[in-house]
Chain A
Amino acid sequence: MRSGSSIIHRRSTGGWILLWVVLFAFSLWTIFPLFWAVVTSFKFTGDAYDPTFIPWVQFKPTLQGWRFVLITAGERTFRSLKNSIVIAFFSSAAVLFLGSMAGYALARFVFRKWKNKDIAVWILSNRMFPPVAVLIPYFLIMRTLRLLDNPLSIIIAHTILNLPLGVWLMIDFFRDLPRDLDDAALIDGCSFMGAFFRIALPLVAPGLVAVFVLSFIFSWNEFIFVLVLGFNKAITIPITIAGALTTKGLEFWKVATMSLIGVIPVVLLATFISRFLIRGLTMGAIKE
């Protein structure tokens, strides 16, 4: 963040008040739904429909919701948690593996026949089509491979989903590295592989972490592919959240608690890589 006062940055007292009022209002609007979910998750079934906010004063807090989600329905919750972690982990690892190699190739070598830029744009264009456009063929492919309701099918789908992002960010990170470093390594007798694994990769470590965490978050959040490819064994957290909608209608306490289980891990991860989130979401167009 740039410091010091300047012409575009000069502000009167009135300006400061306006700034804080707007900031406060926008923060309240942003955080309220999650605050409400937290409050509701500590309410009894009957209290969950009341507009009360303060525990002990306005309503009697309870762990009923959390006990139900983690113990009574715990088997399903933990199965989907485990699947979510396994799927997000392996698909992000695949994105990292394929993405860093392709990113390195496109950042460091010249492809004459198909220009580097065209290859990169083609890779990116794979992210444009809506997932729904490939749902039917994916269903058929995974059925043929006998991978329906198997986490592997979802790992493959999520890898394809996040790979364009991974390649683009890695191109960006490798370009930021001074070229001399791997050139020097090559002159010193390092092989291309050596230059990649021992010089370039360690230097872009923060970028690798960012790509991994970003695709972990997107995989964790993804809903449609799991809805189509998983039925019972391979369900993830988003599907379990959607399952909180029962025939009895919307049980607020249960929905709130279940949603929070999906929300908390990714929000923590996002905080951890907050510097890279906008960069990732804009495909590297913005560097903070």
Chain B
Amino acid sequence: MILKPALRKELVKWGFLLPCLVFMMLMAVFPLGWSLSLSFTKWLGTIMAKPQWHGLNNFRDIIFSDPRFWADLGFTMRFVAMAVTLELGIGLGLAHLLHEPFRGYRFFRVLFLIPMACPPIAVAFIWKMMVHPDVGIINSMISAVGLAKVKWTTSTIVAPFTIVMVDVWEWTPFMFLALLAAYQALPEEVYQAAAIDGASKGQMFRRITLPLISPLILTIVLIRTIDAFKLFELVFGITSAGPANSTEALSYYIYLTGIKWFNLGKGAAMSWVFLIILLSISMFLLSRFRKRD
């Protein structure tokens, strides 16, 4: 049978796209839908128990009588804000300083790729040895110069910053390299024209560089923010969410509730609350940056 070319084109077009869409429907949309329907049920303790209709009780429970959820959300948001700000700040500073071609650029680029290529759980465990309060190398060096040891993982005040520090170690190079690439794509002529007009370096940075790279900054901040919210391995490895839950990330609590304690209904409800919060934050970030254009 000979098909008309137009029809054949339609068939080919959908034939190419559909496998991917169908797979995503089955393994991404369907699970999310299932988790939504579970969130209205009470399903606790064992897989043999039957899920029972629970209405909005899970959500009411989370929102009104689960201070741990809100404390974890607070920690997660503080962590994301601090980590992403520091990574962007340091990355931008480094890119600004190092954007000129220099000898060995390729070598350093490969070097700086290492932290983000490592398995996060390996990063967590390597840092866990380093920040060990008694025998870790960092405290050994600190006490060698005569200062007091820092309670990296044993103080509820310091531990959240320890997690931020490791995330900054892992992801600052990403911000730096991405911004470096953006710097190198900046149009030369504009700067020459600005220099002829007598613009200072500060003016050039604020008036030319920043506006030109701000769409890219939005993109990488958004990517980092979304990824930072997924914080799990660092907390799992370095502090096991301690001390006194001071570094318990939201995803860790959801994991504990849904998988470890097998409270499937509440776990599903929590993950939906988390999802909605994450979506609103991304939307907020997007609209904030849109306004500036």
Show the binding face of A for B, using Cβ within 8 Å: 1-3, 6-9, 11, 18-19, 22-23, 26-27, 29-31, 33-34, 36-37, 40, 49-51, 97-99, 101-102, 104-106, 109, 111, 119, 123, 126, 128-141, 143, 156-157, 159-160, 163, 167, 192-193, 196, 217, 220-221, 223-224, 228, 237-238, 241-242, 244-245, 250, 252, 255-256, 258-260, 262-263, 266-267, 269-271, 274, 277-278, 281-283, 285-288
Contact = CB atoms under 8 A, between A and B. Distances in A.
A160 B16 contact: no
B147 interface: no
Interface of B: 8-9, 12-14, 16-17, 19-21, 23-24, 27-28, 30-32, 34-35, 38, 47, 94, 97-102, 105, 108-123, 125-130, 132, 135, 137, 140-141, 144, 169, 173-174, 177-178, 181-182, 184, 186, 188, 191-192, 195, 204, 216, 219-220, 223, 226, 229-230, 232-233, 236-237, 251, 254-255, 258-259, 264, 267-268, 271-272, 274-275, 278-279, 282
Contacts of B264: 136, 140
A220 B122 CA distance: 11
Contacts, number: 281
Given A33-B169, A134-B271, A143-B47, 18 more contacts: A1-B101, A11-B100, A19-B98, A19-B100, A33-B123, A36-B129, A104-B16, A123-B20, A126-B24, A133-B254, A136-B258, A141-B31, A196-B16, A238-B233, A242-B236, A262-B118, A263-B118, A287-B181
The 9 A-B pairs with the shortest beta carbon distances in the complex, nearest first, are A270-B117, A102-B20, A137-B31, A105-B16, A51-B140, A49-B135, A259-B122, A133-B271, A105-B17
A228 B30 CA distance: 19
A19 B95 CA distance: 11
B118 A129 contact: no
A137 B122 contact: no
A256 B35 contact: no
B35 A263 contact: no
Contacts of A258: 125
Contact of B111 (A31, A193, A217): A31
A139 B259 contact: yes
Contacts of B132: 250
B98 to A, nearest CB: 6
Given A33-B169, A106-B17, A274-B110, A269 B192 contact: no
Contacts of A241: 119, 121-122, 125
Contacts of A8: 99, 186, 188, 191, 204
Contacts of A97: 19
A278 B17 contact: no
